[in-house]
């Protein structure tokens, strides 16, 4: 079975990049593996569709 790999481009400011590099160094993972791990563990909230809150 073939596995297709997808690419993702992200823009990080200096502080975000430093935090990502520290997480990667602490875990021993590459930057891309660290991002993938963060995505898998992410929890998202439902979008608030109430127009009166705008």
pTM value is 0.69
Average pLDDT of every residue of the chain = 88
Q: Do residues 11 and 21 lie in contact, with contact meaning Cβ atoms separated by under 8 Å?
A: no
Q: Note the pLDDT of residue 54.
A: 56
Other beta carbons within 10 angstroms of residue 17's beta carbon come to 13
In terms of average pLDDT, the best of 7-11, 23-27, 41-45, 49-53 is: 23-27
Q: Do residues 39 and 20 lie in contact, with contact meaning Cβ atoms separated by under 8 Å?
A: no
């Amino acid at each position: 079975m073939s596995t297709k790999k997808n690419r993702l481009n992200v823009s990080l400011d200096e502080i975000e990049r430093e935090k990502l590099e520290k997480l990667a160094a602490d875990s021993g993972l590459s930057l891309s593996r660290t991002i993938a791990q963060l995505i898998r563990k992410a929890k998202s909230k439902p979008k608030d569709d109430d127009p009166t809150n705008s």
